[in-house]
Amino acid sequence: MTASNISGMTRRGLLGAFAATVVTAAPTYSNAAGFLRGGGDIRRIKMYSGRTGERIDMIYWIEGKYIRDAVKEVNYFMRDWRTNDVKKMDLRTVDIMAAAHNLMDADEPYMLLSGYRSPKTNAMLRSRSRGVAKNSLHMRGQAADLRLNSRSVRQIAKAAAVCRGGGVGSYSGSNFVHMDCGTVRTWGR
């Protein structure tokens, strides 16, 4: 299928066309970096928001190309729900999220706790917690805070860290993992 054929299809039509052919094969931790760099032909993201009640389950990348309409939906889904501000998310973060999800062989969608944060929201959260960075990558659309009920913080963080695509923070006390596409680093427990 060529890129021009893909761009003419609706997201729903595209999902239907590939639904029967998508086989979820969980790569091992040892080949995670290859997967993140494009070793897979299809990338899919599954999330829900406990704040808005919204869900997203879509293929957003096929054979080396991001699907424009799918990316727009991801951006909207990951918006600052407090202000309704939408930011173009850095797709490297979405790729890390998708690769980590595949590595864990999880059927359950991520619960998105925080994607993009407006400066106003970040300042409000910072006033309530010492754990919120003044220049958070959330404000650049480069970070997400995620949870899976079926996996521990440690398991999620390990899968994300193996991707070596950015920062991974473990927040066991609050039961979530921070993933970003910044400098490769880990913190928390």
Kindly list the distances between the CA atom of residue 148 and the CA atoms of 25, 70, 126, 175, in Å, as whole numbers in the listed order. Answer: 19, 22, 24, 9
Q: Residue 126 has what pLDDT?
A: 82
Domain boundaries, the chain: 3-188
pLDDT for the residue numbered 135: 86
Q: What is the pLDDT of residue 23?
A: 32
> Candidates 3.30.470.10, 3.40.50.1820, 3.30.1380.10, 3.40.50.2300; correct CATH number of 3-188?
3.30.1380.10
Cα–Cα distance measured from residue 25 to residue 170, given in angstroms and rounded to the nearest whole number: 26
Mean pLDDT of all residues in 94-110: 96
If one compares 109 and 17, the residue with the highest pLDDT of the two is 109
Residue indicated by tokens 């909207």: 76
Among 11-15, 33-37, 62-66, 142-146, the minimum mean pLDDT is found in 11-15
Angle at 150 between CA 95 and CA 161, to 5 degrees: 40
**DSSP state letters, 52-78:** T--EEEEEEEETTEE-HHHHHHHHHHT
Confidence of residue 40 (pLDDT cuts 50, 70, 90): low
Q: Cβ contacts of residue 152 below 8 Å, gap of 6+?
A: none
What is the DSSP secondary structure assignment for residue 183, as one 8-state letter? S
Residue 87: name the closest of 116, 114, 113, 67 by CA. 116
Whether this prediction's pTM lies above 0.85 is answered by no
**Shortest CA distance to 82 belongs to which of 139, 150, 38, 37?**
139
- High-pLDDT (> 70) share of the chain, %: 79
User: What is the H or E stretch that residue 42 is in?
Assistant: strand 42-48
For 148-179, the pLDDT digits (tens) are: 999 999 999 999 999 999 999 999 999 999 99
Q: Which pLDDT score is estimated for 130?
A: 78
Q: Please give the single-letter amino acid code of residue 63.
A: E
Reduce the DSSP state of residue 167 to 3 states and report it: strand
The 10s digit of each residue's pLDDT in 126-154 is 888 877 888 899 999 999 999 999 999 99
Question: pLDDT, tens digit, for every residue of 43-67?
Answer: 999 999 989 999 999 999 998 999 9
Could you tell me if 116 and 138 are in contact, meaning their C-beta atoms sit under 8 angstroms apart? yes
